[in-house]
A and B are shown apart, each in its own frame.
Chain A
Amino acid sequence: MPSANEPPIVSLRDVHQSFGDVEVLKGVSMDVPKGAVVCIIGPSGSGKSTLLRCINGLVPISRGSIRVGSFDVHSLRTDQEKIALRKEVSIVFQQYNLFPHKTALQNVMMAPIHVLKEDKDQVHVRAVALLKKVGLSAKADAYPGELSGGQQQRVAIARSLAMRPEVMLFDEITAALDPETVKEVLNTIRELAQDGMTCMLVTHEMRFAREIAHDVYFTDGGLIVESGPPAELFDRPKMERTRAFLSQIL
C-alpha cells in the first residue's frame, strides 16, 4: 500500500515535450507514491506512451521536471547517467521487444549479468524463479518466435523484473494480445502490485484499471484532464471530456 508520509517516488512537474512542431505533452504534473499503482487512460495520441518514455529517459523533455527516486530525469545527459536511472525504472512495451536470438531465459539473464555484473549462477537461479513466477517455467529454453504473444509479454515482464527496479512502467502491454491471453498478463501484474511494486500502466483495460489502480489519470491532448481514485473517476467523473470518453469505452 502506498504511504502518504514518504515523498513520492515519481514526481512530474509541468512536463512539456514536443516532436518537431507537434507538442505532445503540454504541461503534465503528477505524483506517484512508493508502492502505488497508477493507471493512465485516454484516447490514442493523447501522449500516454510518450509520458512513460519520458519517465525512463528514452524521450527527452523540452520543459518541466521529472524526478524518479534520487534522479532528476530531465537533467540526465550522458549515457552513464541514463543507465543509472534505468537500473531503477524498467519499462515493458506493447510489442514485447524481446531479443529474438536469445531464449526466454537468456533474455531474462542478460541485463543482470552484463549491466548489474552479478554472478551468473545467482542470476540463473533468480531468472528461473522469475519465469516460474510469470508461469513460464516450461518455456525457459524457447526462443521468442516460439512463444505466443501473451507468453512473450510475460517473459518481457520477467526480464524487466530481473533488474530489480523500483518502478515498473507498462506501455499498453495488453493492446497487442488476444482477450484470453490478456488475462494471464494482467494476473502477473496483479501479483506484482500485491507485492508492493510501484507500477505505472498506460492501459485501455478499464475494468482492470478500476480494480487495481490506486489512482487513475485521464489524459487528452497532452494534458491531464482529470485524476482521482478509480471509484471517483469512473463512477463520478467531474469533467465533460472524461464522461464522453468513458461513455464511448464502457
Chain B
Amino acid sequence: MSRRRWNDALPRGTDLPVLMPSAMRLAAEAANERRSGSAALRLQPAHGVALLVLFMVGLGVAHAQAGAGDPSILATLWKWTPVLLGGFMFNLAISVMAMTIGTVSGMLLGFAQISLLPPVRNGAWLTTHFFRNAPWLVLLFYCMFLLPFQVTIFGVTIPIPDWIKATFGLALPVMANVSELLRGAVQSIPTTQWESAASLALTRRQTMWMIILPQCIKRMLPPWMNLYAILTMATVLTSIVGVAEMMTLTGRALSAENRPGLLLAFYSYVLFWFFLYCYPIARWTVRLEAKYAVDH
C-alpha cells in the first residue's frame, strides 16, 4: 500500500494513527461492495398470487380460442405434465451439478484471491471478475462449442453430452460468484480477530481454518442460497443450446398440440413449477439472514 492512499482514507476515517490501516481497508472494502453488490432474489407470496392470476388468464384465453372438438385446456396440461416434469427434473439436476462444481472450484478460487502471493491473488482476481461479469449465455455458448463432444482417455472414448457441457457453462459464473462471496466474507471478519489470533501465536493457516472460516460460513450461506435460486432459474438458458429440459419440452409440446391459444397457459405452468421450487429457498434464505443478523 502506498503512503498516498493512507492519507486519502484519512478525511473520511479516523485521525488515530493506530486505526489508519483498518480505516483504509474498510473504506476500500465498502467501495468494493458498493461496486459489486450482488443481485438479490426476493420471492414474495404476492409473486405466487400474480403467477396464479396469469395462469387463470392463460386458461381463459386458451378456452376462448379452443375449437369445437378440442379437449379441455386442463386435460391437455395434465396430459403433458409427466413429460414437462421429466424436463424439470433435468433442470434441477443441472442446477445441483453446476452448483456443486461451481462451489468447489469457487472456494479454491476464493482462497487464491486472498493469497499472500501477489501473482496468485491477481490471477484469481482476474479470473473471478472475468467470469462474474461475462453474460451467462455467452459462457454457455463458449462451453457448448469449445468443449469436445467426446474425449479419449487411455483408449476409452467417453462422449460428453450437451447437457454436461451446459452444466460446465453454468458452473463458471457460479464459480466466480462463490469466489467473490468467500473473499468478501473473509474480509468482512474484523481485523481484530486476526490480531487477536496472531497475539495468541496462531499461524495464518490456523487462524484461517479455526477462527475466520467458521465465522464466514454463516455469512456466506444466505447469499449462496440466493445464488442457487438464481442458477436454477438460469438453467432454462440451456434450452437455447438444445438441452432437453423443461423449456425445450414445453416448446415441443406446444408445436405438437399446434394450438396457439395454449401458449400463455403452458408457459405460466412452467413458471409455476419454478416458483414452487425457488420460493421455499428464498423464504429460508430470508430467515437465515434475519437469524444471523441478530447473532453478530
Contact = CB atoms under 8 A, between A and B. Distances in A.
Interface stretch (A17-25, A69-77, A207-215): A17-25
Contact of B195 (A45, A97, A114, A163): A97
Contacts of B206: 114-115
Given A20-B3, A21-B3, A145-B295, A83 B203 contact: yes
B291 interface: no
A145 B206 CA distance: 23
Interface residues of B, number: 28
A47 B3 CA distance: 19
Given A45-B16, A50-B18, A97-B192, A91 B199 contact: yes
Nearest to B199: A91
Nearest to A101: B214
B283 interface: no
A243 to B, nearest CB: 25
A56 interface: yes
Contact of A53 (B18, B193, B197): B18
Interface string A19-48: 111101000000000000000000011010
A90 B17 contact: no
A115 B195 CA distance: 15
Contacts of B203: 79, 83
Contacts of A196: none
B39 to A, nearest CB: 29
A19 B20 contact: yes
Interface residues of A, number: 37
B161 interface: no
A124 interface: no
A50 B17 CA distance: 8
A42 B11 CA distance: 24
B209 to A, nearest CB: 10
Helix, strand, loop or mixed for chain B's interface?
Answer: helix
A79 B197 CA distance: 13
A101 B20 contact: no
A83 B197 CA distance: 11
Contact of B204 (A59, A79, A100, A160): A79
Interface in B191-211: 192-193, 195-204, 206, 210-211
Interface in B231-267: none
Nearest to A89: B199
Given A19-B17, A99-B211, A56 B199 contact: yes
Nearest to B20: A19
A79 B214 CA distance: 23
Contacts, number: 80
A84 to B, nearest CB: 8
B296 interface: yes
B188 to A, nearest CB: 13
B202 A115 contact: yes
A176 interface: no
B215 A110 contact: no
Given A22-B17, A99-B211, A100-B215, A111 B200 contact: yes
B200 A86 contact: yes
B149 to A, nearest CB: 48
Nearest to A95: B192
A58 interface: yes
A115 B215 contact: no
A112 B22 CA distance: 28
28 contacts: A19-B17, A19-B18, A19-B20, A19-B21, A20-B7, A21-B3, A21-B6, A21-B7, A22-B20, A24-B18, A45-B17, A50-B18, A58-B199, A79-B203, A79-B204, A82-B198, A83-B201, A84-B201, A86-B201, A93-B192, A99-B196, A99-B197, A100-B215, A110-B200, A114-B202, A115-B200, A115-B201, A159-B200
Given A21-B6, A59-B18, A101-B214, 9 more contacts: A19-B18, A20-B3, A56-B199, A90-B199, A97-B195, A99-B196, A111-B201, A114-B206, A115-B206
